[in-house]
Structure 1
Amino acid sequence: MTSKSNLVLIKELQDRIHDCLKDYLSVDEPMAILDFPDIRNCGDSAIWLGEMAYLKDHYGKRPAYVSRIDDFSAEELEQAMPSGPIFIHGGGNFGDIWVAHQDFRERILERFPNRQIIQFPQSIHYASPARIEESARAIARHKNFVLLVRDEESKEFAEKHFDCHVRLCPDMAFAIGAIKPAAAEFPVLAMLRSDKEKAGDVDLSAYGDIPVEDWTSESARSVRVSKAIGAASGLLTLKPGEVRLRKLDAAAHNRFQRGIRQISRGQAIVTDRLHVHICSLLIGRPHAVLDNSYGKVRRFMNAFSGGTDLSYKATSLDDGIAWARSRAGQRIAA
């Protein structure tokens, strides 16, 4: 496979995103995005900002209604947009690993049987056959659900189990576009999962010079302040829905910028996080990629993003570190 530059890849994936979404959006019709990711994971904020960037760049619009899981109001949604499609935030929570999101998704399908509902691109993973059947029943009852997925395996699974329209679509974070990184501080950074999607325990005791981090820690105060700043401008004259959107946007920007600053510190990166891979492409940093617990990262790379010299599919942690060190050395020499 001929490698391509990250800028060429980003533009190609942005075009593919538009090819998928243009059938479900228009300039004039309002739309909603539900399940805002009010969590510490910077990757989820990258997806959100990509969703917002896509709407602005192609339609010059913002959602008429947004919500998190815990502040969703069907009445407020219907008041803000009596008609129009309902989008659900993308990511990797379709299935039974992160059940709160799947429960919410299925409640929305039940609550709005006559609205078109579009799932922004997701990876799918189930462990329970019973839960697959439960999701299948909820989707079959709805009749107008569009499921966008981020890899071929998820597409095959959805087409086998679910009665809905399924399309393969890149992750929405690519809609952000290329980003200028901060200055690097050390040769190699290991960004490894510390949650239930980690592939297993890793031992980096032999690599005392390599920082080992994740991006699921943050200052609660910094997020509160960013939300307040986002809502402050024109607060008294804005509708409640716009105030909420500004607060959530500000939190997403804060988290995303924190993540970009964090990964920029490595001249090269080793990771098992999908969005460290994606954001490394956005900032143009070389990175060795391991997989998560169920193959999500490699599945996405195989479908969309594995064809650049910036990324390397490592066979082991040792292999990934050796490759990252070699690339960091090349950058230093250059």
Structure 2
Amino acid sequence: MHSKPTHMNSNESNLNKLRSLIYTSLDPLIQSDYSLLDIPDYKNIGDHLIWGGELAFLKRLPYNMSYSANWIYCQLKDIPTSNTILLQGGGNFGDIWRHHQEFRLKIISNFKQSKIVVFPQTVYYKDVEILKKDAAVFNQHPNLTVCARDAVTYEILKKYFHKNNIIMLPDMAFCLDLTEHIQTQPTNKVLLLERNDKELQQKLDIDNLLFKEDKQKQLEIRDWPRYNQSRLSEAIENTINSLDIKISKRLIKVPVINQLIDPRHGMKRRDARTNYISNGIKFINRYDTIYTTRLHGYILSVLLNKQVYMLDNSYGKNSGFYNTWMKDFEKSVFLGSVSKQQTDNLQGNSKLNTQPAV
């Protein structure tokens, strides 16, 4: 007999419902070997959690992965046309993280004979004309499914991508079962996971953010690991990565050397997904309570059964996701946006522990 894990997730029933929805919706769409494209090879742990969830989902199916690559090193000639083409989920569908969307457009334009599935994405465009141009390319594909990650995205896709099959599903990271990593030993520490990129809404008013019980604990304000390095370290890392991309793109055209270049990571052969996910778990488990502006800081906290409070990003991605899927979850609260421009003082308001702000 297999013994049950010592620590269970208080949201186990809700998590199983989300996983079941993903399985019943996507299983019928993948009836052949497949290629998984646009996978992450960068330091955002959230995108690696999505990738890990996708692999956990696919592992259940009786088909094989024929090819996998990131957007930089993908070679179209190596993608079998008989495969179902799967495109990474996330929050880069639109005109903010444009290189990912342009890669999707290239795949969709070049593989009209193949079935394509875009894993759950949040859609956001600042320019409606770019939205219309992208939709025109998508609408020309005869067998394309796009998964919306929230209700707002679903309505946008139904309106503009009207010739595609549109379904609404939660984030693929929920396919990860992290029960064995749940810990209950208190750390007496609180994390404010504050993103520092173009999705940051505005600087937070820390004094009015924390609840009364959390003000007695040690507060640490950080972004994901490896986003907290010095400017010099970041500049050196960016230079090395840029050189790796330039060199690998040239060498990948040479048949003999091509065998040395992993299309997932360029010249750097490593299991980055496992390392990033492991680091993310260790990072979140250093704290009792998490306040986060990152969606996957929130999702990972839920998977690890933490008390978590989520704030919105710059364009409503977090609120859209929460309102679509997470209202019934325990130990999970959406706070909206707590900035210096707001006058609402949240401290000591115990009602907010159970009632999400809308």
TM range (shorter): 0.7 to 0.9
What does residue 335 of structure 2 align with?
314
Contact 1:290–1:320 under 8 Å retained in 2: no
Distance, in Å, in 2 between the alignment partners of 1:33 and 1:20 is 18
Query: How many pairs are equivalent?
Result: 301
Alignment partner, residue 119 of structure 1: 118
How far off its partner does 1:323 sit? Answer: 7.2
Equivalent residue number for residue 181 of structure 1: 182
Instruction: Say whether 1:210 aligns with 2:219.
Output: yes
Letter matched to residue 171 of structure 1: D
Deviation per CA, 1:141-181: give whole Å up to 9, x if none: 22221100111110001111113110001110011123313
Kindly state the Cα deviation for residue 321 of structure 1 after the two structures are TM-superposed. 6.9
Mapped partners of 2:103, 2:27: distance in 1? 25
Give the C-alpha shift of residue 294 in structure 1. 1.1
Aligned to 1:23: 28
The 5 A counterparts of 1:285-304 are 285-304=306-325
Pairwise CA RMSD of aligned residues?
Answer: 2.9
Could you tell me which amino acid in structure 1 is paired with residue 16 of structure 2? Answer: K
Distance in 2, Cα, partners of 1:45 & 1:91: 10
Please list every run of 5 or more consecutive structure 2 residues that lacks an aligned counterpart in the other structure.
Answer: 1-8, 230-236, 242-257, 339-343, 354-358
Paired AA for residue 222 in structure 2:
E
CA distance in 2, matches of 1:72, 1:321: 49
Structure 2 residue 64 is matched with structure 1 residue 65: no
The residue type paired with residue 291 of structure 1 is D
- Aligned-residue offset at 1:70: 0.7
Q: Deviations over 1:265-316 (max 9, x none)?
A: 1101101111111111111001111111111112111111221221012255
Aligned ranges 1:233-312 → 2 under 5 Å: 250-312=271-333
Counterpart CA distance in 2 for 1:205 and 1:23 is 50
Q: What CA deviation, in whole Å up to 9, does each residue of 1:18-69 have, x standing for no partner?
A: 121012113xx2101110111111010000000000111x215442110011
Unaligned 5+ segments in structure 1 are 225-238, 328-334
Q: Structure 2 counterpart of 1:168, which letter?
A: M
User: Matched residues in 1 for 2:130 and 2:269: separation?
Assistant: 31
Question: What is the aligned partner in structure 1 of residue 18 from structure 2?
Answer: 13
Distance in 1 between residues matched to 2:337 and 2:92, nearest whole Å: 26
- Summarize the Cα distance change of 1:138–1:278 in structure 2 as closer, same or farther, 3 Å threshold: same
Q: 1:110 is paired with a residue of what secondary structure?
A: helix
Instruction: Indicate conservation of the 8 Å contact 1:288/1:320, yes or no.
Output: no
* Structure 1 residue identity aligned to 2:175: A
1:190 matched residue in structure 2: 192
Gap change, CA 1:193 and 1:302, over 3 Å in 2? same
Conserved? CA contact 2:74–2:263, under 8 Å: no
Give the TM-score normalised by structure 1: 0.82
- For residues 231-290 of structure 1, the C-alpha deviation after alignment (integer angstroms, 9 at most, x for no partner) is xxxxxxxx9699656977710111111111111111011011111111111110011111
Of structures 1 and 2, the larger Rg is shown by: 2
Judging changes above 3 Å, is the alpha-carbon distance between structure 1 residues 184 and 101 closer, same or farther for their aligned structure 2 residues?
Answer: farther
Of Structure 1 and Structure 2, which has the larger fraction of its residues in helix?
Answer: 1
Pair 1:37 & 2:40 matched: yes
**Counterpart residue number, 1:86:** 85
Matches within 5 A, 1:89-104: 89-104=88-103
CA displacement 1:81-132 (0-9 Å, x = unmatched): 3402101000000101100001111011111111111100000000001111
Cα 1:319–1:46 change in 2 (3 A) is farther
Describe the shift of the 1:71–1:117 C-alpha distance in structure 2 as closer, same or farther (beyond 3 A): same
| Distance in 2 separating the partners of 1:42 and 1:159 | 30
Deviation at 1:203, TM superposition (A): 4.0
Contact 1:270 1:320 in 2 (8 A): no
* Structure 1 residues 266 and 62: alpha-carbon distance in aligned structure 2, compared to 1, 3 A threshold: farther
Report the Cα distance in structure 1 between the residues aligned to 2:190 and 2:323, rounded to whole angstroms. 25
Relative to 1, partners in 2 of residues 1:105 and 1:321: Cα closer, same or farther, differing over 3 Å? farther
Normalising by structure 2, report the TM-score.
Answer: 0.76
